[in-house]
A and B are shown apart, each in its own frame.
Chain A
Amino acid sequence: MNYAYILGKLRGDVFPHDIVTIGGASTMAIVGLGVLLYLTFSHRWTWLWREWLTSVDHKKIGIMYIVVAMIMLLRGGFDALLLRTQQATSVGSSHGIVSPNTFQQIFSAHGTIMIFFVAMGLMFGLINLALPLLIGSRDVAFPFLNLTAFWLFAGGMILINLSLGIGEFSAAGWLAYPPLSEINYSPGVGVDYWIWSLQIAGIGSLLSGINFLSTIVKMRCRGMNLMKMPMFVWSVMGSMLLVLFAFPILTATLSMLFLDRTIGTHFFTASGGGNLMMYVNLIWAWGHPEVYILILPAFGVFSEVVATFSRKRLFGYTTMVWAIAVITILSFSVWLHHFFTMGAGADVNGFFGIMTMVIAIPTGVKLFNWIATMYRGRISLRLPMYWFLGFVALFTVGGVAGVVMAVPPADFQLHNSLFLVAHFHTMIVGGVLFGYFAGINYWFPKFIGFKLNETLGKCAFWCWVVGFLLAFIPLYILGFMGATRRIDHYSTSLGWHPLFIVAGVGAGIIALGVIFTLLQLIVSFIQRKDNLDLSGDPWNGRTLEWSTPSPVPVYNYAIEPVVYDRDAFWDIKEAARSGKKLPAPEYEDIVMPKNAPASVIIGLLAIGLGFGMVWHIWILVGLCFAGIIITLLIRTTGEDPHEYVLRAAKVEEIEKATRARGVAHV
């Protein structure tokens, strides 16, 4: 009997054979199983379903994003440690700990996971948490869309991790250039896993982009015109505009690659009229804006952090806005600098080289504005400020490396070398990750209700910085020594070995930093009673979110705020200090969105759809696709109103209870 229509390409031998992959897959399976058992035995499924998985509260969605991203940081971090171990041991007659193919799968997974499921996850997590509060709104524009986007993100994440245990992952690098990623050279399912986990997560990102852009445009509170928005909001606006324009390119490119692989089209093949250069252009037309999608919100976090901890207004608000606008626009005109070595010709290379340098100007302006914000301030060196200073130290180095590589002939010598690897890690770790760590430490008390442990946070910080320098300065030097990226073996005579060992030690110290971060969370949770944030304003904040109690009530603001000045809450506090009496609150009924199980169903069906596509189980694809359409139809046409009313009396009760805690404490 033929089961092909049920099993597709699935066979008995799809499970991993090499010890590293088996170890990784079984660790994940065991941990996952443990969590499921715990949930079952402690009867927490209903709680989890009602309070978290189906909740459309943007704050809970934000926390779920960050939890997923932190778990993926562990996965991506393990990958990094394996890569470093391989390169530190695979020299001369030794071939290290993994086979070339496994090594290539690991670095492909490392890059994909770190960008799509760590950096993007932390970014959407922080935007979800902070953005509506910063603009004085009770919610995002499209709560159901928001939760659906999260579940597509989580679906993509689950699919990419399934590849560890069922089948294999792509071995073609995180951007899977053809022809290597075409069916002739990568006949397995790895590239398909890569395509479909990105497709699913990418559509989620696009939906999020639409949601947050609409939120900024339509949901600002009274009085908050564009030039009164906190800088984080501006940076998110730039970033989401880029999402809106860039992600459709990714979706289309991945679709064409999948068609090439599956039904034999020739978009990017070398023969049959296809052109691999088209793919490289398209993927970077998405890929370069993606870098700015990630970094802009991190810049936004720093703008809030520096002003708050310097007890001073942000310096040069208007120039900051212009800098963001310039970066947003220019980020679509530099993509070719990722392949100066393709032989495009001097005019083309020269143009893109210059555009790349020009984008350094607004970035430099932003740095100077942050520094000027500290001038004549009262700088309180708390954790978020540590991450900011770490960012200044590292990001500048990465920026210099970037400017050097923007000169096309200089890039001919640095491209695809470990110098390049060191450069973009300096930008992504020192810029993006440090920015989001600053944001997490900054906003944590607002959403969880207690402050994070400072000592352990500082240990984590120093491990990250020292580990980073040890891990990546050798890579800059190795690049100069002619070491190319992605090699799983090299000869002793090249003299690279000691530097790879130092880099490995550095990676170990970074791992220690991650452990300290986890310890920080655990210890802070245990000692939460001593660090409760009862005032709602632990840092003497400037923006509206600090006017709410911590943790923020489900409706955010009992009374919709009205804004008269840029640092709205600072303004209110100053008015209060000068003796102005605030009017007694008059509570009102608040319309709140209901939980949306449909989002979870869509997410699960998307996993099924992706899995079916990967393994060519077309019947599963059809069923899941139909399921998604039906779920959407029921959700959008049903009689069920998706909202409920929180009565004014209930709001008053919640407000009085939370505020009373604060008063009792003061």
Chain B
Amino acid sequence: MKRKYTLIFVAVVVIAFLTVAGIYLAHSNIQVLNPKGPIAEKERNLIYIALGLSLIVVLPVYGLTIAFVIRYREGNKKAKYSPHLQGNWILETIWWLIPTAIISVLAVIAWNSSHTLDPYVPIASKNKAMVIQVIALDWKWLFVYPKLGIASVNYLQIPKDVPIDFNVTADAPMNSFWIPQLGGQIYAMPGMSTQLNLMATSYGEFYGSSANISGNGFSGMNFMTRSSSMGGFNSWVKSVESKENRLTLSAYAQLARPSMYNPVSYYSKVKNGLYLDVINKYMMPIEKSSSGLNSSYSTNMGMGMSM
């Protein structure tokens, strides 16, 4: 009797907990499962497909384990006991083949999706792609719109339905550029340029962040992405162009200094070719950086010995 009440109590607690959790989650923004662009949507679908296919193995594992533990428990003397049973090649072949079949299907999906969702592949659209250069700094994101000559820090505005070709680098430790509702991430690495093609198909504000630890201010490296109409985008560009702030090399050097929880800021004129300058400074001979930017690696480390 006592055992029964305990079970009922446990069941009530679990159900109540799950109900509260369910209601809470139903009102939350589960970003990865709530895509706002074609890439994020296809990636979410892949997650669902892989989950579904895996369940083909999981359900029998759970079912058989529970059934056998109950059926063949020590106390149940009625169950058959075959201590010498040690294999069955038909069964064993079956359970090599079932996972192999599932994995074969998944392998095809993985191979094809790796190609179709390759972050470097441009997104097919009637609109021409817009290039945005992304530079991860200690500890903020700098977004440069090279065609427009403007830049913003920790804020990204894009027109809806226009494919965006992000070129990503870092002038800092490695970071990872991630806007979950638009699509998966790519590393931002110093001296290298990676590419990520994304597009928003609805209006809204989407959370973006750095997914890779980069030091003290890493947790503050997030930004809002606003997807607006072309008209809204253009008027935003106008408003940025009217700002006094210019991103010259010296202003960039100032910006690149470590700072935490950087507020949003805008630059009306960006030095031509800044993105390449930032990458190239890591390509220069160590002590003679000719781009005018000092490599953060240009200090002479010398022998660390103190003798």
Contact = CB atoms under 8 A, between A and B. Distances in A.
B50 A407 contact: yes
Given A276-B189, A400-B58, A413 B103 contact: no
Nearest to A393: B62
Interface in A295-344: 310-319, 339, 341-343
B240 interface: no
Contacts of A317: 86-87
Interface in B9-35: 21, 24-25, 28-33
Contacts of A413: 32, 40, 43-44, 47, 180, 183-185
Contacts of A49: none
Contacts of B118: 345-346, 349
B72 A494 contact: no
A481 B117 contact: no
A180 interface: yes
A372 B174 contact: no
B244 interface: no
Given A480-B33, A489-B219, A494-B207, A339 B187 contact: yes
Contacts of A184: 296-297, 299
B303 interface: yes
Interface in B169-221: 173-174, 176, 178, 180-181, 183-187, 189-192, 194-195, 207, 209-220
Contacts of A365: 92, 95-96, 99
Interface stretch (A3-11, A154-162, A215-223): A3-11
Interface string B62-91: 101100110011100001111111111001
A507 B67 CA distance: 31
B124 interface: no
Contacts of B88: 315-316, 372
Interface string A474-488: 000101111011111
Contacts of A343: 119-120, 186-187, 194-195
Contact of B114 (A171, A177, A349, A481): A349
A416 interface: yes
Interface string A213-248: 000000000000000000000000000000000000
Nearest to A5: B307
B39 to A, nearest CB: 8
Contacts of B81: 311-312, 376-378
B155 interface: no
A557 B283 CA distance: 65
B74 A415 contact: no
Nearest to A494: B207
Contact of B109 (A262, A407, A487, A616): A407
Interface string A405-443: 011111111111100000000000000000000000000
A373 to B, nearest CB: 9
B83 A312 contact: yes
B276 interface: no
A498 B27 CA distance: 13
A172 B211 CA distance: 14
B216 A271 contact: no
A273 to B, nearest CB: 9
B57 interface: yes
A480 B31 contact: yes
Nearest to B115: A346
A403 interface: yes
B302 A264 contact: yes
Nearest to A95: B219
A185 B215 contact: yes
Interface in A359-404: 360-361, 364-365, 367-369, 371-372, 374-381, 389, 392-393, 396-397, 399-400, 403-404
B1 interface: no
A480 B33 CA distance: 7
Contacts of A488: 219
A353 B115 CA distance: 12
Q: Give the dominant DSSP class at A's interface.
A: helix
B307 to A, nearest CB: 5
A482 B31 contact: yes
A408 B114 contact: yes
A380 B64 CA distance: 17
A312 B296 CA distance: 65
B304 interface: yes
B286 interface: yes
Nearest to B289: A271
B32 A357 contact: no
Nearest to A107: B213
A549 interface: no
A56 to B, nearest CB: 37
B148 interface: no
Nearest to B195: A343
Contacts of B187: 339, 341-343
Nearest to B138: A185
B209 A484 contact: yes
Contact of B100 (A261, A361, A485, A502): A361
A606 to B, nearest CB: 21
A354 interface: yes
Contacts of B80: 376
A405 to B, nearest CB: 8
A277 interface: yes
Contact of B86 (A314, A381, A410): A314
A269 interface: yes
Residue picked from A104, A376, A482, most chain B C-beta under 10 Å? A482
A396 B185 contact: no
**Which has the most chain A C-beta neighbours within 10 Å: B31, B173, B222?**
B173
A179 interface: yes
Contacts of B173: 177-180, 185
A353 B110 contact: yes
Contacts of A632: none
A100 B216 contact: yes
A272 interface: yes
A444 interface: no
B85 A376 contact: yes
A572 to B, nearest CB: 15
| Ranked 9 nearest A-B pairs via Cβ | A412-B184, A180-B173, A264-B301, A409-B117, A270-B190, A350-B114, A416-B211, A271-B297, A482-B31
Interface of A: 4-5, 8-9, 100-101, 104, 171-173, 177-180, 183-185, 261-264, 269-272, 276-277, 310-319, 339, 341-343, 345-347, 349-350, 353-354, 357-358, 360-361, 364-365, 367-369, 371-372, 374-381, 389, 392-393, 396-397, 399-400, 403-404, 406-417, 477, 479-482, 484-491, 494-495, 498, 502, 616, 618-619
26 contacts: A104-B215, A172-B213, A183-B304, A271-B190, A271-B191, A271-B295, A271-B297, A341-B185, A343-B120, A343-B194, A345-B118, A350-B115, A354-B110, A365-B92, A371-B61, A379-B73, A407-B50, A409-B113, A413-B44, A415-B176, A415-B184, A416-B211, A482-B178, A482-B181, A486-B218, A495-B29
Given A313-B86, A619-B307, 13 more contacts: A178-B173, A179-B190, A185-B215, A318-B87, A341-B184, A357-B110, A369-B95, A375-B85, A396-B58, A400-B58, A411-B184, A480-B32, A482-B207
Interface of B: 21, 24-25, 28-33, 40, 42-44, 46-47, 50-51, 53-55, 57-58, 61-62, 64-65, 68-69, 72-74, 79-88, 91-92, 95-96, 98-100, 103, 106-107, 109-111, 113-115, 117-121, 173-174, 176, 178, 180-181, 183-187, 189-192, 194-195, 207, 209-220, 222, 260, 281-284, 286, 295-307
